[in-house]
Structure 1
Amino acid sequence: MKHLDNNQIIKITDILKQLLADETILYLKARNAHWNVEGRDFQTIHLYFETLYNELQLVIDEVAEKIRTKDVYAPATMSEYLQLTHLSENPIINHDSLSYIKDLLNDYEIIIGFLNQSILEIEDLNDVSTSDYLVGLLEQHQKTAWMLRSHLK
């Protein structure tokens, strides 16, 4: 069995670092939605956003540990995350559930696109374990995106 070389590890962990940044920013945006949502559906959507950020908290830990299994240090500062992320801050003007859902859905779709691309790159680098993990995460995010999208219909 062949081990990954340093070049492969750098490419894989660079992808994982970007993913960690995206997941962390998404987590903070889900927390923001949980804290600040208002409206007639407050109780239900407040709890739903809590479910989202709890799921993301687990994902963040798993991605960081995936980086560490490659003997690379995981980024852990906001300045690093802001440099690495694919997501952007979109000020929420109306604090209703649909505004937050649209924003979160957009971010999930960005991450889904990044995961699709990353899975192919990591498969080419022969890291089956990381590729398999990302496929599972992709499926989880696709399900969440479907649920968010369903709120908008």
Structure 2
Amino acid sequence: MKSETAEIGIKKSNRKAVVEMLEQLLADEFLMYTKYRNSHWNVEGPDFHTKHVFFEEEYGKLETILDAVAERIRMLGFYSPGTMKRFIELSHLEENGPKQNDSISFMEILLEDHQTVIAFIRKSISENAEEHNDEGTADFITGILQQHEEMAWMLRASVKKF
């Protein structure tokens, strides 16, 4: 009996390489999701209500991305990581928080994280398409890249100092 992904036109070694990248992306998304939750729960200051709502909207977007990345790993025939220990091992991001609980402090850290994820995805797009013959994943992560670019833009505009 052939595996469910044996006939999708991508060698197992290429799928494995793509999945390793997706596992790192999933870990980054999960760590960032947790940081948004922390921001939502702990933000203080005169803009509390608007930023409390903002952080909730943003972690909702990341929750959708998380699920999609984990399912993409499954589509390629592998199991998704699912423990905090594994996510921390795989992530490019730091498990850090601000020294203060004001919205700007939270947003500056989140902006750095988005920029790290954007750079990682941008590098991975061509690797997936050209080196691993997986245009599907390249297209998939291009959509995620665009979502992170928009989220980073919102944060960048919010922390801008005049």
Shorter-normalised TM range: over 0.9
Does residue 134 (structure 1) correspond to residue 153 (structure 2)? The answer is no
| Greater Cα shift, 59-68 or 124-133 | 124-133
Does residue 146 (structure 1) correspond to residue 153 (structure 2)? The answer is yes
Q: What is the RMSD of the two structures over their aligned residues, measured on CA atoms?
A: 1.1
> Which stretches of structure 1, 4 residues or longer, exceed 3 Å deviation after superposition?
none
Distance 1:8 1:50 in 2: 37
The answer to whether the 8 Å contact 2:19/2:76 transfers is yes
Shift of 1:92: 1.7
1:34 aligns to what? 40
2:4 aligns to what? none
Q: Percent identity?
A: 42
Distance 1:2 1:71 in 2: 10
Q: Which amino acid aligns with 2:32?
A: L
Distance 2:123 2:104 in 1: 29
2:114 aligns to what? 108
1:17 aligns to what? 23
Q: What whole-Å deviation, never above 9, does each CA across 1:18-67 have from its counterpart, x for those lacking one? A: 00000000000000000000000000000000001000000000000000
Q: State how many pairs are aligned.
A: 153
Question: Structure 2, unaligned stretches of length 5 or more?
Answer: 1-6
Distance 1:35 1:2 in 2: 43
Q: Which amino acid aligns with 1:133?
A: F
Shift of 1:128: 1.2
Q: Which structure has the bigger radius of gyration?
A: 2
Distance 2:43 2:8 in 1: 50
Q: What whole-Å deviation, never above 9, does each CA across 1:97-125 have from its counterpart, x for those lacking one? A: 00000000000000000000111110111
Q: Which amino acid aligns with 1:67?
A: I
Question: Structure 1, unaligned stretches of length 5 or more?
Answer: none
Q: Which amino acid aligns with 1:89?
A: E
1:78 aligns to what? 84
Distance 2:118 2:148 in 1: 7
Distance 1:144 1:82 in 2: 22
Shift of 1:2: 6.7
Q: Which amino acid aligns with 2:20?
A: D
